[in-house]
Amino acid sequence: MSDTARSLVTIFAVLLGALTLAGGFIWVERRLLALFQERWGPNRLGPLGLFQGVADMIKIFMKEDWVPPFADKPVFVLAPMLIMVTTLASLAIIAFAPGLVVADLNIGVLFFLAMSSLGVYSVALAGWASNSKYALLGGMRAVAQMLSYEVFMGLSLMGVVMMAGSFRLTDIVAAQKSLWFCIPQLPGLAVFFIAGVAETHRSPLDLPEAENELVAGYHTEYSGMKFALFLLGEYVGMTVVSAMIVTLFFGGWAGPLLPPVVWFLVKTLFLMCLFIWLRASFPRPRYDQLMLFGWKVLLPVSLLNLAVTGAVLLVRGA
Amino acid sequence: MAELLWLIPALPFAGFLALALLGSRMPRPLVATIGAGTVGLSALAAIAASLALAGSAGAEEGITRTLWTWISVGGFAPAVALRLDALSAVMTLVVTIVGFLILLYSTEFMAGDEGYSRFFCCMDLFVGAMLTLVLADDLLLLYLGWEGVGLSSYLLIGFWYKAEANVRAARKAFIVTRVGDTAFALGLALIATQLGTLRIQEVAERAPLFWGAGSGMAVAAAALMLGGALGKSAQLPLQTWLPDAMAGPTPVSALIHAATMVTAGVYLIARMHALFLLAPVVMGATAVIGAATLLMAGLSALTQSDLKRALAYSTISQVGYMFLALGVGAWSAAIFHFMTHAFFKSLLFLAAGAVSMRLRGEHDMFRMGGLRRALPGAFWAFVIGAASLSALPMVTAGFYSKEMILERVWSSPRGAGWLWAAGLIGALITALYAFRMVFLVFFGEKRQETEGRSGARVMFPLAALAALSIGGGFVPMSRGTWEAHALPLTLAASLASLLGIAGAWFLFHRRRGMTERLAGSPAGALLRRFWAGGWGFDQAYDALLVRPFVRLTRASREEFADPYSKGVARTAGALHHLLSRTVTGQLRWYAMAIAAGTILLIGMAVFL
Amino acid sequence: METVFDISAVVAVVATLMVIAQSRAVHALLYLTVSLLAVAVVFFTLGAPFVAALEVIIYAGAIMVLFVFVIMMLNLGAEAARQERRWLTPADWFGPAILGAILLAEMVWVLASPQSAFPAPAANDPRAVGAALFGPYVLVADLAALVLLAGLVGAYHFGRRSAEAGEGEAP
Amino acid sequence: MNVPFQHALALAAALFAIGLTGVLMRRNIVFVLMSVEIMLNAAGLAFVAAGARWGQPDGQVMFLFILTMAAAEVSVGLALVLQFYHRFKTLATDAAGKMRG
């Protein structure tokens, strides 16, 4: 019974932590962007404007939860829920520290991929159910983009899996005791990072919601709580991708002196700041450029990485 | 050297492949080098191999090299095996040396032709196939070479394929020889099934054991072989294709239709003589056919106006001599005559080519004349060739070989006086028509101006072949012909030859007007037309075979088989209409039908 | 585990029934995805987690998304759903339903016939599947790759032809 | 981990029968394709169940092959559907009957 209680506690802690992190991170992003762009950012509410996020939350809760009459209602409602469900479910397999993991699955990496591939539905269905052309175009872009980048995402992880010899995340962390995989699997890391940006459709790869062309893309028709879910889902997704990168390439919780959880959070936060830095630095590519880059650069790179890793392992094993 | 026997046929084939694949892109000098060079190298290899054979201990036995086996089925294993013995060595040497000289001649003769590389390509293919035929130790391989020379002969007769007559001549040659080839193939099948082998040595060994002398099987096999030989060698009654085959370029006529391919039949019979000895009837037939052919073709040659056609009939006639020799069992005499004939006949053809080259392709003897001074080289070459052809006593190669044949025909137990008489009359006619050509072309008044000069590549082969036409008679093979009892025969043959030459001088030079009057008289004109047209064989075949066959096919096209085939079609149509009802174009019905059927089957499997 | 299996089996059957009964393609697709997820859970309970993950990643995550994509491209509206409803007359579904029922009855009949006792199913870890896939089945794996290539080429070809036809029709 | 083998197979059978019914009763090609997917998935389930029953990986390998085949089939099939819609402006399979000849 204590096992169940323990998992319940873990689930609660992870959920709370992740949601707080994601919510708080909206403030971090705004401040950081302001820093990059030499302006102040939110600095009025509370110390350093820390309560800005809370104020936004309250505002969004109070807004009218409006469903357009031309929309496909059940699907319209379902779509924002899906993104939350899939991203939060991904959190279940992430090992924050020894023992601090909701489900230490033996197919952890695959579970992550499965959840991220289900995430496509949210965007696609949102675009379709809105029944408006900007949303539809955004949804179609999202489907093509995410479906393509999922392929490279999965392939880039396989090098790590081969080196660790397991899909289980704790095994992978353990396998990096002597050397973090970011060194031998540098191409994999690069591909995974880019694919992660595309999967979470963060800027600069935010073509499904490119505001200068598609208004707001797939969530043009969304407002209120449902919009908040999309927003939050995006940030949780970013957190999950960063946590995965930390787990797979940067030795997970490993680190000197400080407790493992702290190390894990520090690394994850650093990577999330990298996401913001990217957003501040790069212009958005054209849609065809994005697809060409994926299929003509990332796919060969990840396949080559896979082949070389396999060959090295084979030689070393023999 | 014996190990490299395969090089002899392989070199021309290599040349053929190179020219076939890249010939159209090569510069002409390179084409000529490859085309003639491969055959030249092959000639060198043949000379080396023959020297090695002569020097080796088993010269009588010959050398055999098995390269690989085609198939092996139930003890029947036809092999790709080459064999070099005295017979095939002579053939190989003649084919490669004469072939090289003719190809050398062609490099200049064909210089202006657009199909330059195609010509050398086909010629190399021919030489390779001919060498395969000659060197084959297995009848199946021999047959392959046999068909190969037929193919290249077809390609080369129709070389100038833009004129319809040439194409028709090529087709005629192919179809007529096919009659003989079919007989040959049947003979092969008979031998393979009866004797269980196609190796020539084994056939020679087993035939006497399996079949008695004169037995039906032996006669049938020999007769079928003879049929093949008759087709290829243009003997009665399959001789009609050869005069038309002159449609090809002159070097082709010289090499294929004079020196080598047409004598393949002679070679075949000589090769298979063990089989023919078992069939005296066939031997007799061979002799009679040879005699009849030599007389008939000689008379035809006497009346031709086209120089090349006259030479073609002359070739038929001379091959008739060889068949006569074969028919009386004088194998070596036949081969000896083959060799000398190859020399002087290709010399005559090449000289004729040299003449027509200088006369813008003129072939009509009556439009030539007086070329003696204009073309001294060609004149002397032609005279030497004609002298050798008409067996000018003592000094020419042709005399020795023809004299040997006549002597054997007289003295052989299989020979007969009347065959000898036919041969003698033939010799007279030969001398007559040979010098008729000389006088018509080179003497008398000049009808046309010549242009240009022949180069060294034309003159050297003429000189070499002229030398061979004279000296070729002194090869060791001719030893032993000078026996005391043969002296009267020799005198008779010499007399016939000299008489023919003198007659030619009288009829076609001194008193030419009288001859023309004679030919112009009604009876003379009729006879002349009859002879010149090849004794009406073409017309007879056309009336007896071709037209009835065409009528038969026309008649059967719509009558016999139709009710059956149409009935089948009608039944299928009816069934189609029945079944087409089920083709609704509706996917769901198809799926439904499939599902229902599946469910029924599963139900039967489960519940029954 | 058996409870999980039973629940997901019921979910799968009900969702699948909804798939073929729906008139809106997207709704049907969503039910189909649910059905696939339920089957994935069934795989998990059968001791095949690797295949369960693949079912979600490839079947639900890629193949079904392709359907979504195509439906989005066709942009079928309410009119299409109404037409779909018109097509679904009882006369249309009664026959197939009977056939399907017979098939099911037959298969259940076969399953219900007495069988020998079962050993406890052993779990297959992904390693064993991989070893089998690239060991004895390597030729078939290559063939599957060829099939995928053929599918790729075919899809590209048909897609391009339609694009050309569209260009041709435009003026 | 002791799910009765027959139950898994019965589930597969049920899914297969439903898929077959869908193929037969729907006129919309998209639905027909979806029903085909149901049937394929049911077959895969049967394979995996059998593999689990005998403790062999072969069943899962077969499922992988079914998966690849399904992917290839769907990609070509959907491309055809698009083409079909462009040409006939409808998704009814019965319209394909016009393609005869």
Share of residues in chain D with pLDDT > 70 (%) = 91
Over residues B256-280, mean pLDDT: 85
The pLDDT of residue B74 is 61
Q: Do D11 and C92 touch (CB under 8 A)?
A: no
Which tokens is A35 given? Answer: 């820093």
* Helices B417-442 and B487-505: angle between axes, nearest 10 degrees: 30
Question: Which other chains touch chain C, taking contact as 3+ CB pairs less than 8 Å apart?
Answer: A, B, D
Cα R_g (chain C), whole angstroms: 21
Q: What is the DSSP-derived secondary structure letter of residue B306?
A: B
B545 touches C: beta carbon within 8 Å: no
Q: Across the interface, which of A72, A117, A125 has its CB nearest the CB of C61?
A: A117
Q: Do C66 and D74 touch (CB under 8 A)?
A: yes
Which tokens is A154 given? Answer: 């999965």
Q: Do B588 and D27 touch (CB under 8 A)?
A: yes
Mutation site for D-interface testing, chosen from C1, C14, C19 by largest number of D Cβ within 10 Å? C19
Which tokens is C23 given? Answer: 């008139």
From chain D, the residues in CB contact with C50 under 8 A are: 60
Alpha-helical (H) ranges within B56-138 are 86-109, 116-135
Q: Across the interface, which of C102, C109, C110 has its CB nearest the CB of B599?
A: C102
List pLDDT tens digits, range B447-477. Answer: 777 777 777 888 888 888 888 888 776 665 4
Q: Do C110 and B595 touch (CB under 8 A)?
A: no
Q: Across the interface, which of C99, C107, C109 has its CB nearest the CB of B595?
A: C99
Q: Map out the domains of chain C as residue ranges.
A: 2-122, 125-171
The pLDDT of residue C113 is 65
Which tokens is B430 given? Answer: 């030969």
Question: Which other chains touch chain A, taking contact as 3+ CB pairs less than 8 Å apart?
Answer: C
Whether B279 contacts B214, CB under 8 Å: yes
CA distance B249 to B158: 9
From chain D, the residues in CB contact with C69 under 8 A are: 78
Q: Do C62 and A117 touch (CB under 8 A)?
A: yes
Contacts 24+ apart (CB under 8 A), B370-377: B370/B442, B370/B443, B370/B444, B370/B445, B370/B446, B370/B447, B371/B441, B371/B442, B371/B446, B371/B450, B372/B442, B372/B443, B374/B446, B374/B449, B374/B450, B375/B442, B375/B450, B375/B454, B377/B454, B377/B459, B377/B462
Specify the DSSP element, H or E, that contains B69.
strand B63-69
Q: Do B595 and D93 touch (CB under 8 A)?
A: no
Residue with tokens 């190809």: B103
Residue B1 has pLDDT above 70, yes or no: no
For C2-122, CATH number?
A: 1.20.120.1200
Kindly report the number of other CB atoms within 10 A of residue B572's CB atom: 10
CA distance B328 to D79: 83
Contacts 24+ apart (CB under 8 A), B457-461: B457/B104, B457/B105, B457/B107, B457/B108, B458/B105, B458/B108, B458/B109, B458/B350, B458/B354, B458/B357, B459/B377, B460/B101, B460/B104, B461/B101, B461/B102, B461/B104, B461/B105, B461/B350
Q: What is the DSSP-derived secondary structure letter of residue D27?
A: -
Most confident of A55-59, B301-305, B343-347, D28-32: B343-347
Over residues C12-36, mean pLDDT: 85
CA distance B208 to B228: 22
Confidence of residue C169 (pLDDT cuts 50, 70, 90): very low
Chain-centre distance for alpha carbon C43: 14
Mutation site for B-interface testing, chosen from D20, D39, D98 by largest number of B Cβ within 10 Å? D20
List pLDDT tens digits, range B378-389. Answer: 888 888 888 888
Q: Do B606 and C99 touch (CB under 8 A)?
A: no
Q: Do D94 and B591 touch (CB under 8 A)?
A: no
Specify the DSSP element, H or E, that contains B153.
helix B139-157
C142 touches A: beta carbon within 8 Å: no
The pLDDT of residue D101 is 45
The per-residue pLDDT of chain B, averaged, comes to: 82
Residue B578 distance to chain C (closest CA, Å): 25
Q: Do D67 and C54 touch (CB under 8 A)?
A: yes
List pLDDT tens digits, range B225-257. Answer: 888 888 888 887 888 888 888 888 888 888 888
The pLDDT of residue C166 is 43
Cα separation of the two ends of chain D? 56
B592 touches C: beta carbon within 8 Å: yes
Q: Which of B 542-601 lie inside 8 A of D, CB atoms?
A: 583-588, 591-592, 595
Cα R_g (chain B), whole angstroms: 28
**Lowest-pLDDT range of B64-78, B199-213, B537-551:** B64-78
Q: Provide the CB-side half-sphere exposure for B589 (13 A, CA).
A: 9
Over residues D46-68, mean pLDDT: 84
Q: Do C106 and B592 touch (CB under 8 A)?
A: no
**Lowest-pLDDT range of A241-245, A277-281, B380-384, C89-93:** C89-93
CA distance B470 to B465: 9
CA distance B489 to C4: 119
List pLDDT tens digits, range B103-144. Answer: 888 888 888 778 888 888 888 899 999 988 888 888 888 888
Confidence of residue C18 (pLDDT cuts 50, 70, 90): confident
* Helices A108-130 and A73-91: angle between axes, nearest 10 degrees: 160
Whether C57 contacts A113, CB under 8 Å: yes
List pLDDT tens digits, range B46-58. Answer: 888 888 887 776 6
Residue of C nearest to B598 (CA): C103
C70 touches A: beta carbon within 8 Å: no
Q: Read off φ and ψ for residue B49, nearest 5 degrees.
A: -65, -40
Q: Across the interface, which of C95, C99, C106 has its CB nearest the CB of B606?
A: C106
Residue C167 has pLDDT above 80, yes or no: no
Could you tell me how many residues make up chain B?
Answer: 608
Chain-centre distance for alpha carbon B376: 31
Q: Provide the CB-side half-sphere exposure for B285 (13 A, CA).
A: 20
Amino acid at C133: L
Which tokens is B57 given? Answer: 């201990």
Q: Provide the CB-side half-sphere exposure for B357 (13 A, CA).
A: 25
Specify the DSSP element, H or E, that contains B68.
strand B63-69
Q: Across the interface, which of C2, C35, C119 has its CB nearest the CB of D3?
A: C2
The pLDDT of residue B543 is 80
Could you tell me how many residues make up chain D?
Answer: 101
- Give which of D79, D55, D59, D63 is closest to D2, Cα–Cα: D55
Cα distances (angstroms) measured from residue A73 to each of A64, A67, A79, A139, C5: 16, 7, 10, 17, 31
**Lowest-pLDDT range of A41-50, B355-364, B469-478:** B469-478
ipTM of the complex: 0.68
The pLDDT of residue C165 is 47
CA distance C148 to D66: 11
- Give which of B276, B265, B267, B270 is closest to B211, Cα–Cα: B276
Over residues A90-105, mean pLDDT: 78
Q: Which residue has the higher pLDDT, B450 or B594?
A: B594
C9 touches A: beta carbon within 8 Å: no
From chain D, the residues in CB contact with C38 under 8 A are: none
Chain-centre distance for alpha carbon B552: 32
Q: Across the interface, which of C51, C145, C155 has its CB nearest the CB of D76?
A: C155
Extended beta strands in B377-489, E state: none
Amino acid at C103: L
Q: CB-based burial of residue D88 (10 Å sphere; 0-12 exposed, 13-18 middle, 19+ buried)?
A: middle
For residue A306, give the 3-state DSSP assignment: helix
Confidence of residue C116 (pLDDT cuts 50, 70, 90): very low
The pLDDT of residue C122 is 54
Q: Map out the domains of chain B as residue ranges.
A: 1-178+247-278, 283-520, 529-559
Confidence of residue B484 (pLDDT cuts 50, 70, 90): very low
Q: DSSP of D39-74, one letter per residue? A: HHHHHHHHHHHHHHHHT-THHHHHHHHHHHHHHHHH
Q: Which of A 252-271 lie inside 8 A of C, CB atoms?
A: none
Q: Any contact of A with B, at least 3 CB pairs below 8 A? A: no
Q: Do C53 and A113 touch (CB under 8 A)?
A: yes
Residue B431 has pLDDT above 70, yes or no: yes
B594 touches C: beta carbon within 8 Å: no
- Give which of B53, B32, B22 is closest to B100, Cα–Cα: B32
CA angle C65/C68/C71 to nearest 5° reads 155
Residue C82 distance to chain A (closest CA, Å): 14
Residue D6 has pLDDT above 50, yes or no: yes
